[in-house]
A and B are shown apart, each in its own frame.
Chain A
Amino acid sequence: MSATDPLLRCEGLVAGYGGPPIVRQVYLDVPENEMMTLVGPNGAGKSTLLRALYGLTKTYAGHIVFAGRSIEKTTPLERYATGIALVPQGRCNFDRMSVAENLAVAAHSVPVARRPEALDYVLGLFPTLKPLMQSMAGNLSGGEQQLLEMAMVLQTRPKCLLVDEPSLGLSPRMQAAVFEKLAELRDGGMTVVAVEQNVRVALAVSNRAAVLVQGEIAFEGPADQILADDRIRTAYLGGQTISQAANDR
């Protein structure tokens, strides 16, 4: 895989949940060691696209190429083994088990000998979790649970982290902290693809951004240019019909 090839590429991806397709012909490249944020109005298919990357949806057509291999036919378990990890939307931990137990269960696929080392690695990334090890995951704050969920999947040192609306249910202070942590991971060599409502906070730390409208990429580019682009307003609040916005691409 040459240096210029993206780590993750979608070629004409069409996906949905069995009914009409929600993701319609998406072409997207995510270069390695960069953070890409998917934004766009609700119902545009952002979460569906992210879940399609992890194999949680039906793929009608198109390819997903990860590190040179097409993976659209593989199962979530297989994709996790090849180095893609997903932190789904909302709470996704084992609320009636302690933080330590959550992390231990999450490390089940790590060889036993290397588990302590993997635990130290994630506790190094998420020091706020250290004092909370013995408390029940359910009693943690929304933000702390979000960090726990990220720590859980990072023990296997995946190459690419998919994060679905990490800011949902978090206070503005926690939202900023979560995105700073994502940026830190990106600087440490992780490729991050986030779906996010809070466009300003996400784009502030992202390298690139793509605006999804009605299942298609309306336009994409470097994060700072996207915010300034007036097409954001039409994408979110309309004014032009979607096809005009798409033709400008």
Chain B
Amino acid sequence: MTRTSPVSWNALLAALLLAAGIIVPFLTQSSYFLTIGISAMIFTVFAMSLNIVYGYAGLLSLAQVGFWGVGSYVAALVVTRLGGSIWEGMIAAALVAAGGAILIGAAALRLSNHAFVIVSLCFTLLMQMLAQEWIDVTNGPMGIPGLPPPSIGFGEAVFSFGTPTRFFYLALVFATVSLGAIWIVVTSRVGKTLRMIKHDETLARSLGLRVTIWKLVAIALASVFAALSGALYVFYVTIVDPLIFDVYYTQVILVIVIIGGLGSFWPVVISGLLITVLPEILRTPNELRMISYGVILLLAVLIMPTGIAGLAGKMRARRTTPATSTAELLQ
């Protein structure tokens, strides 16, 4: 981090992105581009949720898409079956996700990291299966269509976010609030604590840190933002079905976080926006786009596992500290 006070540098970047967001709907009315913008913002928050648990806390969890899907279904059921509003649906989604995360997390954290990853994947695969086959709850493969657009107010004074432009601004508010909240957490002492645990859990314990509790906090926090993103997403596409759990989503957020740089904030935001926008513009058919993601993931892991943040860090480091000479080595 450069020596100028961190707040001003970050405020500048935040203001820049916010301004860009506000201007976009004035530049284009085409619902195609607005849709890309909306999914870019939602996927950036979703990828950031993975960054909390994997990037900062060092726990590779493939359960994020599980919570993304569970959040979507819970919100959809609250609205369609219980007659609640989308806001109540999203709150319910967040609570259910957090509860599930703590339960599964507590069980999985008893394991070594190897088994934790596999259990997290199996959670997502099981949720997909339940969505597919628990007909009387999830309506099975047909899913739950006809999700009403979000709205505020009662009776006549109802303001609906039905149009792409209005939903774009709703997504912008959601992204700004969510990323802002995550920024406050990860740049605070909580973020440092998680990075300590990622770097050396034994050392963190020897310094008095309640490691297991902090890991559960990271897992729960990540599940909340994944669930909220999912809920908002399905209310834009107006349907939730078992495909919400597709491995495509796991792979997209992994690519975003690895290309951006595990445990970094702004690089992940930028890579989140770019990686969702680019393929849409290229308009490649679904399979070829996913193959390209697979190839990007392979190349990223092989060539630059520390992502953009890592490269930037190396460049800055090369300029300041000389390598340790062998003389000192033999001292």
B188 at the A interface (CB under 8 A): no
In the docked arrangement, what's the CA distance between A20 and B331, Å? 8
Interface size on B, residues (CB 8 A): 3
B330 at the A interface (CB under 8 A): yes
Residues of A within 8 A of B (CB): 14, 20-21, 60
Chain A residues contacting B331 (CB-CB under 8 Å) are 20
- Min C-beta distance of B275 to chain A, whole Å: 37
- Min C-beta distance of B331 to chain A, whole Å: 7
B82 at the A interface (CB under 8 A): no
In the docked arrangement, what's the CA distance between A14 and B331, Å? 13
- Min C-beta distance of A170 to chain B, whole Å: 31
Find the A residue at minimum CB distance from B326. A60
In the docked arrangement, what's the CA distance between A60 and B330, Å? 9
In the docked arrangement, what's the CA distance between A14 and B329, Å? 12
In the docked arrangement, what's the CA distance between A237 and B331, Å? 25
Chain B residues contacting A60 (CB-CB under 8 Å) are 330
Residues of chain B from 277 to 331 with CB closer than 8 A to chain A in the complex: 329-331
In the assembled complex, 7 residue pairs joining A and B whose CB atoms fall closer than 8 Å, in A order, are A14-B330, A20-B329, A20-B330, A20-B331, A21-B329, A21-B330, A60-B330
In the docked arrangement, what's the CA distance between A60 and B329, Å? 10
- Min C-beta distance of A239 to chain B, whole Å: 26
In the docked arrangement, what's the CA distance between A21 and B329, Å? 8
Chain A residues contacting B329 (CB-CB under 8 Å) are 20-21
Chain B residues contacting A20 (CB-CB under 8 Å) are 329-331
Chain B residues contacting A21 (CB-CB under 8 Å) are 329-330
- Min C-beta distance of B330 to chain A, whole Å: 6
Find the A residue at minimum CB distance from B331. A20
Chain A residues contacting B330 (CB-CB under 8 Å) are 14, 20-21, 60
In the docked arrangement, what's the CA distance between A102 and B330, Å? 41
In the docked arrangement, what's the CA distance between A60 and B327, Å? 12
Find the B residue at minimum CB distance from A61. B330
- Min C-beta distance of A209 to chain B, whole Å: 28
Find the A residue at minimum CB distance from B329. A20
In the docked arrangement, what's the CA distance between A182 and B331, Å? 38
Q: Which 7 A-B pairs have the closest CB atoms?
A: A21-B330, A20-B329, A20-B331, A60-B330, A20-B330, A14-B330, A21-B329
- Min C-beta distance of A230 to chain B, whole Å: 32
Find the B residue at minimum CB distance from A14. B330
In the docked arrangement, what's the CA distance between A20 and B329, Å? 6
